[in-house]
Structure 1
Amino acid sequence: MTMKTMTRRASLFLTSALFLAGCTVGPRYQPDRMKLPAAFTEDEHPATPDEIARTNAELKEWWHRFNDPELDKLVDRAIAGNYDLQIAGQRILAERALRDVQASAWYPQVDANTTNGDSRYSLNIDNWPLRPGNPANRPGASYLSYGVSASWQVDVFGRIRRSVEAQEHAVEQTIEERRAVLMTMLSSLVSDYMVLRDTQLRLDISNRNIRVAQDAYDLTQRLYLEGVGNTLQIAQAKAELDAQLAAREPLRTHIAQITHALDVLMGQVPGTTEAELKIARPLPKVPDFPATLPSIVLANRPDIRRAERAYAEATARIGVAVAQMYPNFSIPLNFNPNASAMYQLFEAGALSWQFFMLASVPLMHGGKLTGQIRAAQAAAEASRLGYRQTVLQAFREVEDAMAAWHDDVEHTELLHRAAEDSTLASERARKLYGAGLVGFLEVLTTERTALAAENAEAVAQLERLQDAIDLYTAMGAGWQGVGVTAASLPVSLETQNVLARALKQ
């Protein structure tokens, strides 16, 4: 076959392949449309455009709404140093590399080779003279060869295209998973910080309780020495003092453990920030409720976005399975000149090459191919249902967080009033004691009651802060303001697939 004939056949083959390349088999991905309410049931009114814009701005870096510079610094350090976040980033790179592996099938696979050596044929085999190129007087020969072998698989029915499409969706899932890791890390760090400040506040209350118990113990001892009290009162006062001392130790331990947890979240050795964080700061105020919460905010949640991309990937996998039912076209090429002397390798007589256009058609595989299609279809349907379940679960989490935010307001207000009333009672008891109208034990009792009310209020304030953190997390807030990674691939499917580029698909 002449080079002209070979070129004509190759052109005809490629033209046919390009014509058929538009026949990418398998279903096209269509996003699942769920009928959802426009707003949450716990939201008070329909959202206006200005309120939606304000809510989006508030959710972008929601930890700033607590107005705590120390917290802001910890968040910045955690975003820069958290190891879970870095691990998630490496998973993105790994999936992108696998995407490049899939895309490599679009290109010719070319290998170069060379051979240099000697060979000798046996003279003790019958009919050996019949072997061409091996006369009896030359049983051995030197062999030199170089060449190129290549193969190009023409993606006529879109098997490679669907594989790359599926892998691109897998990359997008890892991006969303990294965003989810970021959200979880932010939620854990802010929550731990609030617990730290609350525990420090409760430690201060505990120290004041110990002082009150110590005063009560000292008073009962003095009264006993004056002949007014008895040993039972001394024992009771001592038991109260010991109980208050014992209650303080778990708080100290908890503070140390929380600082260690914060260090790990920031990618630091536990104990690094202990000196920095041991200085007690006021408990941050609960921010105002978001201006509005339309249901569209759930589009921020990485778990929903990941589930949607998983459905897209599973749909593309159907196309990969369907393409196995269609003919497969490939073009192998081998060019291997060979000779016994170096100067002969580049002569026309040394040329040796093969060029084919191959097509293989699946005929009988015992139901394997159709079974693969059914499995891919079932996996895609499972992904679609999983996406719906993720959306419903997200709605539930937001509704629960909103209900807790609203319902805990009254609870905290009542405890705040109780703390104020108890403090007022303690002040009045001291004034009455100064006037000689009540005993010192009454003063100590009212002080102990006031401190217990303060402690209950501190616990309720922490619950309110946690309600805010839970709501921001449930709405998928936080990753938008952080440059985690680009959501798009640097090389698109259209720019890399020569057939897709030629057909403008």
Structure 2
Amino acid sequence: MKKSLLSMALLAALSGCSLIPDYQRPDAPVADSWPQGEAYGPSAASAQAAELGWREFFHDPALQRLIEVALENNRDLRVAALNVEAYRALYQIQRADLFPAVSANGDGSRSRTPADLNPMGQSGISSQYSATFGVSWELDLFGRLRSLRDQALEEFFASEAAQRSAQISLVASVANAWLTLQADLALLQVTNDTLKAYDESLGLTQRSFDVGVASALELSQARSAADSARVNVEQYTRLVAQDRNALALLLGQAVPADLPGSGEGLARQQLAELPIGLPSDLLFKRPDILQAEHQLRAVNASIGAARAAFFPRISLTGAAGTASSELSGLFDGGSGYWSFAPSISVPIFNAGQLRANLDYARISENIQVAQYEKAIQTAFREVADGLAAQETYTRQVQAQRSLLESSEDYYRLAERRYRAGVDNYLTLLDAQRQLYSVQQQLIADRLAQLTSEVNLFKAMGGGWQEAVSTEQGGATPPAEG
């Protein structure tokens, strides 16, 4: 009879019900296509941006080397990886509660009893020794432990998605920091060249002033332009140093001195073309959205645990072994010992605590739904902004290049006319300032174009893989052992 009851209890524990609500993925609160229309529709042969390895997207060998260093040494990425291991351990802890806890115990005691406490009227020494195996097990009849296990598993998956998101952000941040450094170096070079031209012009104006050809106003204007350029040289020198410091922080070490040369500078060719998919692709490729969904699933599982807390908890505790008053007789015949102590706990009154726990779980689910939808909307906006930038920056840079050519022609013509005495120095100074300003703006536009491409790559979930991989799918569950 006892064996039958125990078998029934084991069967109930293994086939216990689950009170976790059926998970329903919320509808994506975004449009089915990008605002830019069908021009960005996916081709049948193109891969998704998330499947494009960062080595394939970034062609600059120096930048590839910097990303390698950052992935090895960046502290934020190291913390994200450790968080994954921490959540893996928490999952293993929660999963262990589903199985019986078995322990081996050895006990021994000796005590002396005074004569006035002994019924025989004599003092005595008593001894007791035991060696037992103990088992304790909570029967998960209503799925409380399984719900907590599933919650821990989803939190582990969310931490893996957070690690992927951290890596994508790091790759994009290193690329943008490198491009910013290249832009400021280019601006410093342009400013130095401009200062050289200003100094030459100042020297010519000074000599003209000395012989009475140039006026004091023209000399003052030439000196003012040269001083202004010197101020800009110091400004860009400071920015270059700060850019290197920012890059070193991302790398987790000093910027390597032996970076391979690329000669790319701010050339658009150093970035690959991005394949553009549909908005729905982001739901399965972008890690921050996957993280938000796993967190939503975790809260959904916590509702099952909160529901199961309303039902009785049944635990089985037992021990078997030997016991003897003499250590030498501990394993003699007839020293067998066993105990079996099942228990049941039924909640009756707890001042509304269980109800409040369930309400909290349901409210948390509503919060996670809102955060999941916000993550989708944010991702949709970032990609849409990137597509708009991709479409317009190309034309803007082309127009700026055309303006640069016109400004160069204007400067050469103004210089010849000034030297010939046709125009005054103010016209030449205006041409110099316009050329300098257009050169600066072209570098700024090229930087904005490249960083927008990098941000679009990040927004579409690219940068997680080092190269294209044929293995797809979600996070790998923790080992069951």
2:104 aligned to which of 75, 97, 112: 112
- Equivalent residue for 2:268, pick from 285, 307, 310: 285
**Superposed, which structure 2 residues align to 1:6-21 within 5 Å?**
6-18=2-14, 21=15
The equivalent of 1:85 in structure 2 is 77
Unpaired segments ≥5 residues, structure 2 = none
Counterpart of 2:52? 60
Give the Cα–Cα distance (whole angstroms) in 2 for the partners of residues 327 and 104 of structure 1: 20
Q: Which residue is 1:101 aligned to?
A: 93
Q: 1:298 aligns with which of 269, 273, 282?
A: 282
Residue 472 of structure 2 corresponds to residue 488 of structure 1: no
Asked if structure 2 preserves the Cα contact closer than 8 Å seen for 1:162 and 1:319, the reply is yes
The answer to whether the 8 A contact 2:296-2:372 is kept is yes
Which residue of structure 2 lines up, in the alignment, with residue 238 of structure 1? 223
Larger CA deviation: 468-477 vs 404-413: 404-413
Q: Contact 2:61–2:260 (CA<8 Å) still a contact in 1? A: no
Q: For 1:329, what is the secondary structure of its paired residue?
A: strand
User: Amino acid of the residue matched to residue 38 of structure 1?
Assistant: D
447 and 283 in structure 1: CA distance in 2 versus 1, 3 angstrom threshold: same
Match of 1:263 among 243, 248, 259: 248
**Does residue 32 of structure 2 align to residue 38 of structure 1?**
yes
Q: 2:329 aligns with which of 321, 344, 355?
A: 344
Map 1:100-249 onto structure 2 (within 5 A).
100-125=92-117, 128-129=118-119, 135-249=120-234
User: Counterpart of 1:14 in structure 2: which amino acid?
Assistant: L
Task: State the distance in 2 between where 1:157 and 1:455 align.
Answer: 69
Q: Judging changes above 3 Å, is the alpha-carbon distance between structure 1 residues 59 and 235 closer, same or farther for their aligned structure 2 residues?
A: farther
- SS of the residue corresponding to residue 48 of structure 2 reads helix
Check the 8 A contact 1:329/1:358 in 2, yes or no. yes
Give a deviation string over 1:226-283, Cα, whole Å, max 9, x none.
Answer: 1223444333322322221111112112112212222222221x3x435759998521
Q: Separation in 2 of the partners of 1:378 and 1:115?
A: 49
TM-score normalised according to structure 2 size: 0.89
**TM-fit CA distance, 1:87:** 1.4
Tell whether the 8 Å contact from 2:34 to 2:40 is kept in structure 1 after alignment.
no
**Are the equivalent residues in 2 in contact too, given 1:109–1:152 (CA < 8 A)?**
yes
Q: Secondary structure at the match of 1:337?
A: strand
Distance in 2, matches of 1:175 and 1:316, equals 18
- Equivalent position SS for 2:310: coil
Query: C-alpha distance in 2, partners of 1:16/1:466?
Result: 59
The answer to whether the aligner puts 1:380 opposite 2:372 as a matched pair is no
Question: What is the deviation of 1:36?
Answer: 4.3
SS of equivalent residue, structure 1 residue 321? helix
Retained in 2: the 8 A contact 1:259–1:273?
A: no
State the Cα distance separating 1:332 from its structure 2 match.
0.5
Partner SS for 1:249: helix
Q: Secondary structure at the match of 1:458?
A: helix
Correspondence 1:321 to 2:306: yes
Aligned residue pairs total 476
Measured after TM superposition, the shift of residue 102 of structure 1 is: 0.5
SS of the residue corresponding to residue 115 of structure 2 reads coil
- Partner of residue 502, structure 1: none
| 1:501 aligned partner | none
**Match in the other structure for 2:389:** 404
Contact 1:40 1:293 in 2 (8 A): no
The answer as to whether partners of 1:55 and 1:290 remain within 8 angstroms in 2 is no
Q: Check the 8 A contact 1:112/1:148 in 2, yes or no.
A: yes
Structure 1 range deviating more: 256-265 or 226-235? 226-235
User: CA 1:17 to 1:80, structure 2 compared with 1: closer, same or farther past 3 Å?
Assistant: closer
Determine helix, strand or coil for the equivalent of 2:32: coil
Does the 8 A contact of 1:119 with 1:141 survive in 2?
Answer: yes
Between the aligned partners of 2:210 and 2:335, the Cα distance in structure 1 is: 122
**CA-CA distance at 1:163 after TM superposition:** 0.8
Shift, 1:64, TM fit: 3.9
Structure 1 residue 155, shift from structure 2 partner: 1.5
1:310 matches 2:288: no
Q: Which moved more, 1:116-125 or 1:196-205?
A: 116-125
Distance 1:24 1:320 in 2: 9
Return closer, same or farther for 1:457/1:472 CA change in 2, 3 Å cut-off: same
CA distance in 2, matches of 1:62, 1:138: 84
Residue 70 of structure 1 is matched in structure 2 by: 62
Cα distance change on mapping 1:55 and 1:39 into 2, 3 Å: farther
User: Is 1:146–1:338's contact at 8 Å kept on the other side of the alignment?
Assistant: yes
Report SS of the residue matched to 1:146: strand
Partner of 1:462: 447
With over 3 angstroms needed to count, the CA separation of the structure-2 counterparts of 1:104 and 1:216, relative to structure 1, is same
Give secondary structure in 1 for the equivalent of 2:28: coil
Inter-CA distance 450–162: structure 2 relative to 1 (3 Å threshold): same
SS in 1 for 2:134: strand
The root-mean-square deviation of aligned C-alpha atoms, in Å, is 3.0
Q: In 2 relative to 1, CA 276–243 (structure 1 residues): closer, same or farther, beyond 3 Å? A: farther
Distance 1:444 1:250 in 2: 22
Deviation, 1:32, is 1.9
User: What letter matches 1:163 in structure 2?
Assistant: L
Contact 1:200 1:280 in 2 (8 A): no
| 1:43-72 Cα distance to aligned partner (Å, 9 max, x none) | 44373542xx42515861356445322222
Give CA deviations for 1:341-374 in whole Å, capped at 9, x if unaligned: 2222123443332113333322222322122111
Further displaced range: 80-89 or 472-481 = 472-481
Task: Describe the SS at the equivalent of 2:110.
Answer: strand
Unmatched 5+ stretches in structure 1: 130-134, 497-505
* Counterpart Cα distance in 2 of 1:66 and 1:204: 24
Q: What letter matches 2:307 in structure 1?
A: V
Partners in 1 of 2:134 and 2:73 — Cα distance? 48
The 10-residue stretch of structure 1 (340-349 or 312-321) with the greater mean CA deviation from structure 2: 340-349
Structure 1 residues 246 and 372: alpha-carbon distance in aligned structure 2, compared to 1, 3 A threshold: same
Counterpart in 2 of 1:419? Answer: 404
